[in-house]
Structure 1
Amino acid sequence: MSLLKETQKDSSIENIDNNILAITESYLKEFVAPVASEIDQSSEALNEALQGLIKRSLLSIKVPKAWGGLEADTETFYHFQQLISQYSGALAFLQVQHQGAVASIVYSNNEVLKEQYLSKIVEGKLLCGLGFSQLRRKGKPMITATPMNGGYEINGTVPWITGFGFFDAFLLGASLPDGQTIRAMVPFQNSHQDAGGEFLVSEPMKLGAMQSTNTVTGTFKNWFLPSENVVSMAKEGAIHENDKKIVLFPSFLVLGCAKAGLDIVKKVAQTKQLDFINEGFNHLNEELNYCQEKIQTAITINSRSFEDDLKLRVWAINLAQRCANAAVIVSSGAANYYNHAAQRVYKEALVFTVFGQTTDIMKATLEQMVYN
């Protein structure tokens, strides 16, 4: 029995959720924060940190209790995301892929697939990633699914799949001939089928940040996908509609990055003892708290507009950039060291700036920078 489950006995829902956050923060402070730079660069260190989340049942945070999960409420889940990104951007980026795939499975109408996957996920025996960002791209589909007896023939290239070597499967997004799209679970390993189909994975990309997450390209050639692996089907363009609905939610990862930058500024202020560093910290921290308050309030409002959500997302991005830059500035020349915390957080701000980026987000982020 995990530590988390032991502390849940005879607790109210509110206390359970508080336990989730308390245990998460305790783990991150004790085991992740001291090796955050190593986690950013080493897949082995990242895997060890990921296993720590699994041992505490934290990767089943959104799985319903009926399946053995924690079923945390929305606010707790997003605070959980923020905590992780505050202590390690690489760990946050990796686990959020899994959480996204799990959410799709939970909401799937494929009960057989849910039975097959969710119990293993809760037991920590199965981890999943995502491979559908190509559905956002206009023009000729990068991944096609051609209907055939018993399933689909998959062809094309997935340009971005994070977590090779960490995840057992990933959620593939593919386009049908009529424009509809499917999402389906696919084994995350090189494979050759008896009928000649194949799925091949590239070497991990050389990235400027979060190299340890093992992001790869995956190529399908006449690969057979059984119908029973399909998680969902959607109309053409549905991903763009959904992107607008969820535009605010990644803000919590971004706010965690901003907090990471301010943690560095605060630490430097204690050693350099310069008044202007304290003043800078206080100013940014006050704005961060205000931004967080606005975002927390917004997620409780069902009738909020996309435009308002977008403004808050862009505000969070801008804050993360400024807080990360402040960390670099106060760290002086030491920030140039490849393993310095300020450099790591600065690069994480880059990643979270473009994470799940749509054209609307790109435009609003650029306008905020240019005109404000």
Structure 2
Amino acid sequence: MSLTSNKSSSVLSYLESVSTSDLISDPASIGLTIRELLRRFGGASETTSLTLQDLELAFGKSIALGFSLWQHMAALDRLSAIPDWLANNAPRVANLRNGSAICGLATTHLSSPVTIHGSPSPNGYVVSGTARWVSGFNFFDNLILGFETSDAYCFALIPFPQPIIPIGSSPDSIRCDFRLLDLTALQSTSTGELTLENFPVLNTQLLSRREKNARPAPRKSSLKIPELGVAKSVSKKINSALAAKQTHPLSTDFASALAQINSRITQLEAERCDDSLDLAGPCHLLIQDTLRLFALLSGSRSLAAGSEASRLTLEAMLFDVFLQSENSMRLKIEAAAR
């Protein structure tokens, strides 16, 4: 067995010791679990960091945990693409790798229309606007914030903003407001809308600045469709359930459907090496089909409040509201219309 496989086995063993009920109800548990994963397995160098396989295991344990850990790993992935910043911030990088600090994302992709805008100030920028989906309130230490100026797109690494209620009514007052969203199945992600007014971003916090007329440098993501771990985990649950129900009158039909799901998992694993492919849509459809098969096999128990099948189905709604591109949404609409 390879060193990578050995480490992932250890990651799985640790995740199995963590309470799933805490991960789906308590934001503090999400933060503590991420820190512990990084402390045990993240290391202080790129060669010992958590891998895509480890992130898949986190998604398989809890979609809320996987989504939150993905943000931290995606932030590290973005920072790793800025050599000058890495060279000048070695202690901060070490803290992010070993879990002493964990980081989330605000405006992960600057697309139209941009919702946060900045203007130059003597020490950097003053930004205002709303990031409509920010997770990790009270457990992420930092955020990568994206914003638009009159002539550039910028990213900055800032401390997670804490609520600031301005005194008086000065138009230059700094205001920061975080409104938690009512996400029943994802409450442990502590997700909400972050609104900033006249919020200072210092030059020392700036990660990158790209002129609007400049073409962005191509980047290959090392964390492509980690949510595939949900389908992998649920397919194993289906396999175990089938093994215990060998006399089920439809066991052959279930086994055939499971074989098709496993084939699609294998295909997506092979295709994600091609960075030109948008695999989010096919992956999320696969997750939905896998969860549907699990619910069918669970029967009436899948309708019970708090059942594993109903919990996973609710959590998987995350993929319909956030983790998807325009192409992914189009694919889902077409599938629903058939």
TM-score, scaled to structure 2: 0.85
Q: Name the structure 1 match of 2:157.
A: 185
Q: Name the structure 1 match of 2:289.
A: 322
The match for 1:341 among 301, 308, 311 is: 308
Q: 1:256 to 1:226 in 2, by over 3 A?
A: same
Deviates more, 1:285-294 or 1:17-26: 285-294
Q: Secondary structure in 2 aligned to 1:126?
A: coil
Q: How far apart in 2 are the matches of 1:277 and 1:132?
A: 47
The Cα of 1:151 is off from its aligned counterpart by 0.5
Deviates more, 1:180-189 or 1:346-355: 346-355
Q: How far apart in 1 are the matches of 2:214 and 2:325?
A: 14
Q: 1:241 to 1:348 in 2, by over 3 A?
A: farther
Q: How far apart in 2 are the matches of 1:214 and 1:150?
A: 31
The Cα of 1:41 is off from its aligned counterpart by 1.7
**Matched residue pairs, number?**
333
Matches for 1:1-372 after TM superposition, within 5 Å: 15-29=2-16, 31-32=17-18, 35-58=19-42, 63-65=45-47, 70-71=48-49, 77-108=51-82, 109-111=84-86, 114-133=89-108, 135-136=110-111, 138-139=112-113, 141-178=114-151, 180-190=152-162, 198-236=174-212, 250-253=224-227, 255-276=228-249, 278-301=251-274, 306=276, 309-310=277-278, 312-371=279-338
Q: How far apart in 2 are the matches of 1:285 and 1:167?
A: 38
Q: How far apart in 2 are the matches of 1:284 and 1:37?
A: 29
Q: How far apart in 2 are the matches of 1:336 and 1:252?
A: 27
**Residues 49 and 97 of structure 2 are in contact (CA less than 8 Å); yes or no, is this contact kept in structure 1?**
no
Cα RMSD of the aligned pairs, angstroms, is 3.1
The Cα of 1:339 is off from its aligned counterpart by 1.9
- 1:165-197 deviation digits (Å, cap 9, x = unpaired): 11111000100112x211101211316599965
Q: Secondary structure in 2 aligned to 1:22?
A: helix
Q: 1:113 to 1:217 in 2, by over 3 A?
A: farther
Q: How far apart in 2 are the matches of 1:261 and 1:237?
A: 45
- 1:16-39 deviation digits (Å, cap 9, x = unpaired): 32222111112122x13xx32331
Q: For structure 1, which runs of at least 5 residues remain unmatched after alignment?
A: 1-13
AA aligned to 2:36 is G
- 1:277-332 deviation digits (Å, cap 9, x = unpaired): 5334433432233223323333445xx6x3xx23x443322221011112222222
Q: 1:353 to 1:241 in 2, by over 3 A?
A: farther
**Residues 284 and 323 of structure 1 are in contact (CA less than 8 Å); yes or no, is this contact kept in structure 2?**
no
Q: Name the structure 2 match of 1:11.
A: none
Q: Secondary structure in 2 aligned to 1:189?
A: coil
The Cα of 1:349 is off from its aligned counterpart by 2.4
In terms of fraction of residues, the more helix-rich structure is 1
Q: 1:335 to 1:292 in 2, by over 3 A?
A: closer
**Residues 21 and 79 of structure 1 are in contact (CA less than 8 Å); yes or no, is this contact kept in structure 2?**
yes
Q: How far apart in 1 are the matches of 2:191 and 2:46?
A: 29
TM-score, scaled to structure 1: 0.78
Q: How far apart in 1 are the matches of 2:156 and 2:176?
A: 17
Q: Secondary structure in 2 aligned to 1:166?
A: coil
